[in-house]
Amino acid sequence: MDLHDYIESGIIETYLLGLASDEEAELFEHMRSLYPELNTEISATEFRLQKVMDDGGITPPAIVWNKIARHLTPHGRDSYYSKAGRQQTEGPQTYILQPRNNTITVSIWWRCTVIAMMLLIMALVASTIYFYQQFRNMEERLMRLYPTHTEMSPPGVH
């Protein structure tokens, strides 16, 4: 067996994920003792798997899901399905899960528009307060210049 073909078969990933059968694990351990360069490949594969996990993950191939489903199904499938009153489906079932991406991307133009709107609103509030104060000051000055009609002299007296 060629070492490169053995590595390319995906046995390292299967072994690291705990999906290898007992025979596959024993063969892998034997190959690992014969070929020390497998340890380098194991380290590189562990690094790639960690990077995939850190980057948010990807959907694994359907064969991986089939192996997981096989490990989760109880032994003696026939008796299990007959007790449950269900029909056993032919072949392994494939589960395809799509990861959720809960991030929202916002264009830089929307951000600039929102910032411009907030600045415009703040400018309108500030100008409203300023003009209201100017109106009150002008009203007070006018009240001081023109006396009220109770203080005015009678129309016939100068």
pTM of the full predicted structure? 0.36
Lowest mean pLDDT: which of 54-63, 89-98, 99-108?
89-98
d(CA 106, CA 127): 31
Residue 69 pLDDT level (bands cut at 50, 70, 90): confident
d(CA 158, CA 154): 8
User: What are the boundaries of each domain within the chain?
Assistant: 3-84, 104-158
Q: How far is CA 148 from CA 138, 141, 155, in A?
A: 16, 13, 14
